Structure 1
Amino acid sequence: MKIITMTMLALLWCSIAWANTADTFIPTEVRSVTVYRSGAQVYRSGSGQVPAGQSIIKFTDLSPAVTPSSIQFSATGDFTILSVNFQRNYINPLENSVEAKALQSQIEGLDEQLRRLDVEMQVLKEEESLLLANKQIGGQQTGVQLQDLQAIAEYYRNRLKAIKLESLDLEQDKQQMLKEKEKLQQQLGEITGRMKRGISGEIWVKVLSERAVDARFQLNYLVPTAGWTPSYDVRVADIGEAVDLDLKGDVYQSSGENWEGVTLSLSTGVPTEGGVKPNVQPWWLAPYEPVVYYDARDQMAGKAAGMGIAKEEAESRDYASPPPPPPPPPPPAEYASVEQFERTTTREYRISVPYDIPSDGKPYTVAIEKYELPATYQYYVAPKYDQDAFLTAKVSGWEEYNLLSGPANLFFEGSFLGKTQLNTRQTSDTLELSLGRDKGIVVTRVKDDQYKDKQFIGSKETRRIGWKIELRNTKSKAVNILVEDQIPISTSDEIEVTLRNDGGARLEKERGRLTWELDLKPGASRTLNFQYEVKYPKRMELVLE
């Protein structure tokens, strides 16, 4: 009881100490952001005056998703930093909103100008009424000289005209200001609605200074509700030319604060994964005993408590994730300069052009880098499954760029072919890309009727099957073609498979794969034949074609 009392007194003393300290609000702006594959480090800066004595510097209108342990704070000035704390403002997220305050200030300024316009218009209206009320010239007994009448008439005409024109100008100015005010009110309404739906984050820094000093502040923190995914545009102008690989980043964030005109850096690191290596612990084996439990609900209802065996159930959670990026627009003619920094375990791309990334969770495409990679081209045909030829590009030298796996848009000869997946986790030093179908290579696969036989010897049945593959190059260029087919593989000692004619193919026995690699000149044709024999018990039913 004594310990609890002491703890409560300590907490109360801390609360009183914070409450009795003067508050100073310092506005800050997001200057730069390092976006990780998952999470983002936000860098803010601002300046202001630190008052004499002990005070609390409050940095408001921040993301409520800040990871408190990630906050780093620094400042320049002759004062002492006592503590740094993160708070969430659940009461009034609009309070101290820099953006909302700026809009409100503009609206108030327009209101003041509108009031002045109304005063000027009212004065002109009174002057017009005064002129119109004194139209009678001279007395009833005496007339007015013509020269005086002309002068008075000219004065009335000029003055009334000036009043009307000035009133018209003032009315136009008023309408323009009203439109501008309406626009500002809409913007303020959007901010108000957005902030009222959520909460705001605040960083409170307690400082001690002997005198009032000017200072500059820098703070940065991690927000987990952001990230980026790599995507690519793969462009091939023609066979024989290098592959143009455009690396892009689809950046998203829903941190609660907009990033406007910030310097972006995209990092391949994932700080949310943690960096502590695992330790292998002893693996003790013991008999598994099911957990017996009693159904307390039946017992409470007046029934005999039932017995059951507890089952382990895997619970799946549907965690929120950014929507898939829409098909990206065509890339610009030139890329902004990007600096690459290779750290010990990650790579970082610093984008030179400022970007706006709203806090709406939508992906925004950022151009990162363009690579020109050497490639060799080959057509691939698997006529048993598809009688179209597929153009493939085998790209070398890609591993030196530390690329990430991701979706890619394929463009060949200026046309969009479709999407594919770039898998950079493969161990091969050659990256193979499928560039789509090419109808210029005609392929057929038919049975070879000259090698078709069925025999019965004792309890065994022997089937002989042959296939004929024909290829024709209708293109104006010579092509290299890789053809793959197969023979069946036995899974029983009672089934015997024999390749009688490989047709010049290379056989991979473990997989039953036949491979031909050949060159076809423009207009040339080639026929490939292979035959195999299967011996098996007559009682078996096998699919041999």
Structure 2
Amino acid sequence: MKKSILLVALLFTSIGVNAIEENIVKSKVTQVTVYAKGVQLFQKANYSIKNAGSSEIIIEGISPFIDPNSIQVKATGDVIILDSKHKIFYPKPEPVTKEGMPLKIKRDIQFLMDSIKSINYEIKEIQDEINVFNASRNILSSNGAVRGQGKINDSLELLKTTLDYYSFKMIEINKKLLNLDKKKNVKNHLKSKMNERLKDLKNYQKNTGLSPKKKKPIHRIIVTLMTKQAARGKINVSYLSSNAGWIPHYDFRTKKDDGKVNLNYKAKVYQKTGLNWKNVKINISTNNPYQNKTKPTLHPWYIAYSRARSYGGNGVYNNSLNAPSKMKQEMKSMGFHNVKDFNADKNLQETIVFDSEDDAGARASSEFVSVVRQLVSAEFKIDLPYSIKSNNDHHIVLIKNIDLEAKFKHFAVPKLDQSVYMVAQISKLDDLGLVPAKANIFFDGTYMGETYVDPTSMDDTLSLSLGKDPNVQIKRKLLKKDCKEKVIGDRVERNFAYSIEVKNLKATPIELTLLDQVPISQTTDITIEAKNISNAKKEDRTGILEWRVKLKPKDKKVIDFRFKVKHDKNKNVII
């Protein structure tokens, strides 16, 4: 029996010796990977374990916007990582004592408390007198003689004596009540002032910053380590945090006679993770960890007869199968979005000052960027330290500065705009890791406007509109003398003719892409026939006509095209 008790005692002693050791350590942000939304924070901390067994390393300095599912832990030293978890610690406010309060304040508080206690008795004494006089007044008012009851009405002398006594006593009582009310109000006012002063004195600690302050919750990552002996080393933790990201932006700069386009690929990095980044390495990733990563699944698509159709407010059936406007798509593909006129407002222009060749230029931060291709995204490693405060301000990080080969062409849609636009076509953009974003366009140092670059919608060429070229003129007009209308039986035939004249006033040859169109019919009752379209490439589905025109310096060319529309003479067709 004694042996069993001894074994149990030894067992509990062993458990007490091998209790989990806790160490609280501070961590520091050393590297960040900024995603389109969110950021992966890499932090380091030093640990030291004195005893063998299990130990908990409590890492502080963690972002309050941590995603606990994304925690990753690595450690150096002869240890085994058993577990890692996120936990929030709510610190208790520090107890506050009155020792920091001056002696005079303490005496004033005690004096006021005694004074308030004394004045309460005085107010009660006054109230008691008021109650007595109120009772006397009630008794006097309810007396039978005063109310004319009994034999008082039989004697005029008795009635006069009663009225004189009643008037004298009521005036006397009312005066005393009035004086007592005044005394009571004065005492209450004094008591109110004393209470306010007492409240201010009791709040002395709060007013002087000695009151307990609410402490913010502390986010921690707790790592459980197992070791056979004392150990020390470093712990590297990484996790995903929200309240951070980056916004891509481009600057495209071109010159007249350069034949190249300079691209400034910038990232506007912002963060409010609750941690200030001081001299950290920044990686910019095009990935978005918050996007859905689950592949879509198709389910059976059932159809049946429908009894109702959707009609618009004007009673016309809404046909959702209308062919898209290829002209608008073509203009978007050529870079036409919100580009300002070639002769834009001078206030929008930017002046570029170039240093002389003798001046040594500063190195650009883009020289310190390397691109790492992931399976589904691109990551740019910036080999420069950055310091970014947790205040949501935008900080410009230059990702790339590169000269791109470009072909300069001209493009016109005179039906919509009788101007000729210069377009720079850039290819081989796959290795740049571009993402959809806004872009500023500069031509010969002049700000031309803003466009939107969407690499996901283009084939292998990016077209940038550089604005209107005033040295290439274009004019489109209707040839009224060739526009005729005639009736043949129950049908009417309408002929239309247009002429487009292009002039090249430049000293260099140009290549112009010219777009126009003929109408298309959505019913068999209306027929359209294009004729004499001057060797244009016609797309039957959309009616788009495309000409590729080469013009020598000071050259001029006229393009004519005609089409014919036939329809029921009793129906109106708007063209």
Fold agreement, TM-score > 0.5: yes
Aligned in 2, Cα 1:383/1:221: closer, same or farther, shift over 3 Å?
same
* Equivalence for 1:337: 368
* Equivalence for 1:251: 269
Instruction: Measure how far apart 1:390 and its partner are.
Output: 1.3
Q: 1:452 aligns with which of 476, 480, 483?
A: 483
Q: Distance in 2 between matches of 1:383 and 1:48?
A: 73
Matches within 5 A, 1:88-487: 88-91=88-91, 199-207=217-225, 213-238=231-256, 241-273=259-291, 275-279=293-297, 334=364, 335-426=366-457, 428-487=459-518
Instruction: Measure how far apart 1:527 and its partner are.
Output: 1.7
Q: Distance in 2 between matches of 1:218 and 1:237?
A: 49
Task: Confirm or deny: 8 A CA contact 2:45 2:59 kept in the other structure.
Answer: no
Aligned in 2, Cα 1:447/1:283: closer, same or farther, shift over 3 Å?
closer
Root-mean-square deviation (CA, aligned residues, Å) is 3.4
Aligned in 2, Cα 1:409/1:199: closer, same or farther, shift over 3 Å?
farther
Q: Aligned partner of 1:367: which letter?
A: L
Residues 49-102 of structure 1, C-alpha deviation per residue, up to 9 Å, x if partnerless?
3343655322223111111121122222344544322112444799xxxxxxxx
Task: Confirm or deny: 8 A CA contact 1:86 1:203 kept in the other structure.
Answer: yes
Q: Distance in 1 between matches of 2:31 and 2:529?
A: 68
Instruction: Measure how far apart 1:437 and its partner are.
Output: 1.9
> Structure 1-normalised TM-score?
0.64
Specify every segment of 5 or more residues in structure 1 that has no aligned partner in the other structure, as ranges.
1-16, 95-188, 288-326
Aligned in 2, Cα 1:29/1:238: closer, same or farther, shift over 3 Å?
same
* Equivalence for 2:77: 77
Instruction: Measure how far apart 1:21 and its partner are.
Output: 5.5
Aligned in 2, Cα 1:387/1:280: closer, same or farther, shift over 3 Å?
closer
Q: Aligned partner of 1:60: which letter?
A: E
Task: Confirm or deny: 8 A CA contact 1:31 1:263 kept in the other structure.
Answer: yes
Instruction: Measure how far apart 1:359 and its partner are.
Output: 2.2
Q: 1:537 aligns with which of 568, 571, 575?
A: 568
Q: Distance in 2 between matches of 1:362 and 1:410?
A: 25
Residue 47 (1) aligns with residue 46 (2): yes
Instruction: Measure how far apart 1:348 and its partner are.
Output: 1.5
Residue 502 (1) aligns with residue 572 (2): no
Q: Distance in 2 between matches of 1:93 and 1:62?
A: 21
SS in structure 1 opposite 2:367?
A: coil
* Equivalence for 2:36: 37
Instruction: Measure how far apart 1:201 and its partner are.
Output: 1.7
Rg bigger for which structure? 2
- The total of aligned residue pairs comes to 389
* Equivalence for 2:138: none
Residue 490 (1) aligns with residue 527 (2): no
Q: Distance in 2 between matches of 1:475 and 1:457?
A: 49
Task: Confirm or deny: 8 A CA contact 1:264 1:355 kept in the other structure.
Answer: yes
Could you tell me the percent identity over the aligned residues? 30
Aligned in 2, Cα 1:366/1:511: closer, same or farther, shift over 3 Å?
same
Residues 386-413 of structure 1, C-alpha deviation per residue, up to 9 Å, x if partnerless?
1111111221211243432222111111
Instruction: Measure how far apart 1:479 and its partner are.
Output: 1.5
SS in structure 2 opposite 1:218?
A: strand
Q: Aligned partner of 1:33: which letter?
A: V
Q: Distance in 2 between matches of 1:501 and 1:22?
A: 92
> Structure 2-normalised TM-score?
0.61
Q: Distance in 1 between matches of 2:300 and 2:522?
A: 39
Task: Confirm or deny: 8 A CA contact 2:536 2:546 kept in the other structure.
Answer: yes
Aligned in 2, Cα 1:241/1:57: closer, same or farther, shift over 3 Å?
same
Task: Confirm or deny: 8 A CA contact 2:259 2:408 kept in the other structure.
Answer: no
* Equivalence for 1:24: 23
SS in structure 2 opposite 1:450?
A: helix
Q: Distance in 1 between matches of 2:258 and 2:509?
A: 11
Q: Aligned partner of 2:562: which letter?
A: Q
SS in structure 2 opposite 1:64?
A: coil
* Equivalence for 2:552: 521
Q: Distance in 2 between matches of 1:47 and 1:79?
A: 13
SS in structure 2 opposite 1:271?
A: coil
Aligned in 2, Cα 1:430/1:79: closer, same or farther, shift over 3 Å?
closer
Q: Distance in 1 between matches of 2:74 and 2:456?
A: 40
SS in structure 1 opposite 2:456?
A: coil
Q: Distance in 1 between matches of 2:568 and 2:304?
A: 48
SS in structure 2 opposite 1:523?
A: coil
SS in structure 1 opposite 2:290?
A: helix
SS in structure 2 opposite 1:336?
A: helix
Instruction: Measure how far apart 1:48 and its partner are.
Output: 4.3
Q: Distance in 2 between matches of 1:455 and 1:92?
A: 95
Q: Distance in 2 between matches of 1:67 and 1:503?
A: 64
